Each structure stands twice: as C-alpha cells, then as structure tokens.
Amino acid sequence: MKQAAEDDGWALSDGAISLSAAFEGTETIAQARDHAGMFLRVLRAEHGVSVPERATNIVQLVVSELVTNTRKYAPGPSLLTLEAREGVVSVTVWDTEPRLPVVRGADPVRVGQHGLEIVRAVCRSLEVHPEPVGKRITATIDLT
C-alpha cells in the first residue's frame, strides 16, 4: 500500500480530515480495514472526534466490502480515501473498472453478491460516479 498524498496521505482542508492510500492489488482486504481503523483512532486521539465503536465497525465493514469488490471486479490499482467532516465519515474507493455496479435487492437464496446491498443498508448514502478512467463509489456513515 502506498500513501497517495504527501505527508503520509493525510490532509486537513476546509474542516475535513482525510487520509488516502493507493493500493496496487497485492494488499489484503485486512490491510484496508486496518487503514480505516488507524484513521478512526487518529480522529479520536489527535482531533478529539467522538467515534463510537458501532461507527468504527460500520466504517471497517464498508471499507472491506468496497475494497473486496474492487479486488474482484476491477483490474489494476485502486485508491481508498477516508474523510471525516461534520459528524460523518465518507469512504471513497476509486478503481479502473468502467462498468458501474448494480445494487441488487434482497434475495435470501442468492449466494454472494450482497456487498453493496449491505453497504446501502448501513450507510447514510451510497453514490456511484463514472470517472474518465473507471468509477468512484462513496459511502457516507454517520458517526452518531
């Protein structure tokens, strides 16, 4: 995993605190979850942001699901950005696959492919945007 921005990938801008990391494709999903956990610990310890355990669990679940989808369906590198602002954390994953994912409806007999369904259920919002190269998916999680 490479830090995507200068100064270890951390940025403080316009009241938002963010951390980005580029993934080459050899990292494990656990490394992405650990990255999110570290981001939330720093929010608490260094910025005084209240991050309940439930929010930590949800952020790490969302990171896991989005990065898993990137690893399964998108060739090439990806970028994970975590941003805290005004009581929410946004998890954004960019990848090189131009096809936009479809959030399927609940189906208790379907095996697999429930990731975006889960993300949509636990987040305030889920947005999918096409990019000139690939796509960007952003999930927003309430910290309260």
CATH number of the domain where residue 11 is located = 3.30.565.10
DSSP three-state, residue 98: coil
Pair 61, 99: CB distance under 8 Å: no
Q: How many domains does the chain have?
A: 1
pLDDT number for residue 90: 98
128 pLDDT higher than 80 = yes
Q: Between residues 69 and 108, which one has the greater pLDDT? A: 69
Q: What percent of the chain lies above the pLDDT cut of 90?
A: 66
- Its domain, for residue 44, covers 2-142
Nearest to 139 by CA among 80, 90, 71: 90
3 pLDDT higher than 60 = no
* CA–centroid distance for 106 within its chain: 22
Model confidence, pTM: 0.87
Q: Average of pLDDT values for 95-112?
A: 80
pLDDT number for residue 103: 76
* CA–centroid distance for 125 within its chain: 12
pLDDT number for residue 1: 45
54 pLDDT higher than 90 = yes
108 confidence band (pLDDT: 50, 70, 90): confident
Give Dmax over CA atoms of the chain in angstroms.
47
Q: Average of pLDDT values for 121-130?
A: 95
95 pLDDT higher than 50 = yes
DSSP assignment letter at 109: T
